[in-house]
Amino acid sequence: MEKHTSPATDFCFANPTGLDRADSIGELVVFAGRNVEELKGAMRRVLHSEEICFPSGVKWISFHSQQKFNSAQSNRRYRAAVVTYGVLELKRQLPQLIKLIEANPREPFSHDAAGLYYGFGAPEGKMAFLFPGQGAQYVRMGAQLRAIYPQAQAVWEHLGSFAFNGKTLNEVVFPAKAHDQKEAAVQNDYLSYSGWAMPAINLMSESIRALLDSMSVRPDAVAAHSAGDAAAFKAAGIISSEQMIRFAGFRGVAAAACPMASKGGILMVFSEPRAIRAQLKAHAIQQVWIANYNSPAVTVLSGLRENLTATKQVLAKASIKSKLIPISGAPHCPLALHASNHFMHYIADEPFNRSDCDLYSYLFGDKLANDPALYKKVLSVTCLKPVRFVAQIEKMHAEGVRTFVEIGPSDGLTMFVRRILDGKPYKAISTNRQNGDANYHFLSAVAELIRLGRVENTSVLWDLYKAPARPARISEADPPRMPDDIVAKELERLRVLDLQLSRIDKMAGAC
């Protein structure tokens, strides 16, 4: 379908002959100005507009606010954003946003729960994309974003057609709806097989990265956790998207088929490494290794399954909590030697490029030299070595990274970053979450990036959708009606929102 481009700004706006936008999804409303007064004036005009009086008005307001933002590159020193479900919410959110800005215009803020964001000035420091690995997968991940945004759908249609063991990635990630919990458990177990999980997670990450790339949100650096390294290499321009899927799929199959690794698994332990080593040594537990240094108080062990079970029991007696993670194989330990050798042979003749940005490796916890030969060597042995995620994040922060954006199915790495950098200046953002409204969470991430001055344009959010019709005037004697079930949901959301705004109101009053 043809895109309509504004010659003055080179931004792609909605196709007037395109798709209808659903009324029941979250929307992003954005504002920009050269100063605080101009910014507040834009918000007040929306608050007092006719469109905010009609249920369908939020689409109109969202679309036109983004058009103004996209065409006002020179007037974006001050920025604000609202993520909302409808005009009833927006009527409550905008006055509170204005009040918070007036309370302290020199203090940027973000209130994710209430969908309110405000910032100004140039971006601070560098921005990095983080790509999660095995364990982040779940059935139907990416379904909502794929359904709403054609760019995400295009990635799934292209890369999801790759087949392993007779099934495509799309068939495994998006199976028929389970009839009961038993069938759902079987579907989750199937996806947890490393031959499926690794390429599926990388595919999910790439679909989100493609959306952000369409907004000109591009990283200064990339890093990964475990099997997310293929997606990180793709994001840096080192390998192609097809190589990303093939590499992840081959390595996953090789890991599961490895004679020793297939007898293994991983155990997440909620403790620091020194205490865990002491317990392993005290009870003479063999063939269990530290695989992931995730955060100061979260460590992952890899090893033989029966030995991990024994470790779990030993740790429980020492009041150390742990849980087994559903994956096939034992990554990042000597048990994966056979798989590593097979993968090294598989990629030996593959072309690798120089990186478009800084690449930090969990193998060393440091930045790699921009050398394609080095990248190939590192990728070929990472499944043998522990994930030094703590050292990696600390090094990135020391070298000027201040914004960490998790690109993938979950928010696990975001939580790890917050623990690692506690007390330091930074911002950690996740673009997806397993539970809740995935589109609302993604738009919240976009709103945060707008606040930080990282977004050039948002036209991708409306790409291939027709411009919303202006709400028609309706007399007070014949007010617009919504279905009872939507009204009930709206009222419940407003009740929760009012609680959130009341807390924020107290905070603003204390300023």
User: How many CA atoms are closer than 13 Å to the CA of 369, on its beta-carbon side?
Assistant: 4
Among 22-26, 198-202, 229-233, 478-482, the range scoring the smallest mean pLDDT is 478-482
Report whether pLDDT(495) > 90. Answer: no
Predicted local distance difference test score (pLDDT) of residue 189: 85
Predicted local distance difference test score (pLDDT) of residue 166: 80
Residue 93's pLDDT band (cuts 50, 70, 90)? very high
Report whether pLDDT(164) > 90. Answer: no
- Enter the pTM of the model: 0.88
Average pLDDT rounded to a whole number, residues 165-190 = 89
Predicted local distance difference test score (pLDDT) of residue 500: 66
Residue 488 backbone class (left: φ over 0; alpha: ψ -120 to 50; beta: rest)? alpha
Predicted local distance difference test score (pLDDT) of residue 436: 87
Q: Which residue has the tokens 């309110």?
A: 116
pLDDT tens track for 36-83: 999 999 999 999 988 888 878 899 999 999 999 998 777 899 999 999
Asked if 22 and 85 count as a contact pair (C-beta separation under 8 A), the reply is: no
Q: Which residue has the higher pLDDT, 19 or 307?
A: 307
pLDDT tens track for 433-490: 998 899 999 999 999 999 999 998 999 999 888 888 887 654 444 444 555 555 566 5
Give, in order, the Cα–Cα distances in Å from 51 to each of 56, 58, 459: 8, 7, 21
Predicted local distance difference test score (pLDDT) of residue 497: 66
CA atoms of 427 and 421, how far apart (whole Å): 10
Give percent above pLDDT 90 in the chain.
Answer: 65
CA atoms of 34 and 39, how far apart (whole Å): 7
Question: Token pair for residue 59?
Answer: 């689409």
Q: Which residue has the higher pLDDT, 495 or 153?
A: 153
Is 461 in a helix, a strand, or coil?
helix
Report whether pLDDT(14) > 80. Answer: no
* Other C-beta atoms lying within 10 Å of the C-beta of residue 342: 16
* Other C-beta atoms lying within 10 Å of the C-beta of residue 11: 21
Predicted local distance difference test score (pLDDT) of residue 477: 43
CA atoms of 484 and 496, how far apart (whole Å): 19
Average pLDDT rounded to a whole number, residues 125-140 = 94
CB-neighbour burial class of residue 502 (10 A; exposed 0-12, middle 13-18, buried 19+)? exposed
Kindly give, in sequence order, each residue whose CB lies less than 8 Å from that of residue 343, ignoring residues fewer than 6 positions away. 247, 250, 251, 254, 380, 383
Report whether pLDDT(6) > 70. Answer: no
Average pLDDT rounded to a whole number, residues 257-268 = 78
Predicted local distance difference test score (pLDDT) of residue 393: 97
CA atoms of 503 and 313, how far apart (whole Å): 43
Q: What angle do CA 118, 95, 60 make, to 5 degrees?
A: 80
Helix (H) or strand (E) segment spanning residue 222: strand 221-224
Report whether pLDDT(263) > 90. Answer: no
CA atoms of 452 and 109, how far apart (whole Å): 10
Question: Token pair for residue 366?
Answer: 């440091």
Report whether pLDDT(2) > 50. Answer: no
Closest Cα partner for 336 from 386, 390, 284?
386
Question: Token pair for residue 350?
Answer: 């593959």
Helix (H) or strand (E) segment spanning residue 450: helix 438-451
Q: Which residue has the tokens 């490895």?
A: 258
Give, in order, the Cα–Cα distances in Å from 414 to each of 78, 82, 285, 295: 26, 22, 32, 11
Asked if 383 and 340 count as a contact pair (C-beta separation under 8 A), the reply is: yes
Amino acid at position 147, single letter:
A
* Other C-beta atoms lying within 10 Å of the C-beta of residue 503: 13
Report whether pLDDT(503) > 80. Answer: no
Amino acid at position 92, single letter:
R
Asked if 328 and 258 count as a contact pair (C-beta separation under 8 A), the reply is: no
Predicted local distance difference test score (pLDDT) of residue 474: 47
Asked if 253 and 164 count as a contact pair (C-beta separation under 8 A), the reply is: yes
Helix (H) or strand (E) segment spanning residue 288: strand 288-295
Q: What angle do CA 476, 485, 116 make, to 5 degrees?
A: 80
Among 2-6, 202-206, 304-308, 496-500, the range with the most confident prediction by mean pLDDT is: 202-206
pLDDT tens track for 370-428: 999 999 999 999 888 999 999 999 999 999 999 999 999 999 999 999 999 999 999 99
User: For all residues of the chain together, what is the average pLDDT?
Assistant: 88
Among 182-191, 260-269, 313-322, the range scoring the smallest mean pLDDT is 260-269
Among 45-54, 213-222, 254-263, the range scoring the smallest mean pLDDT is 254-263
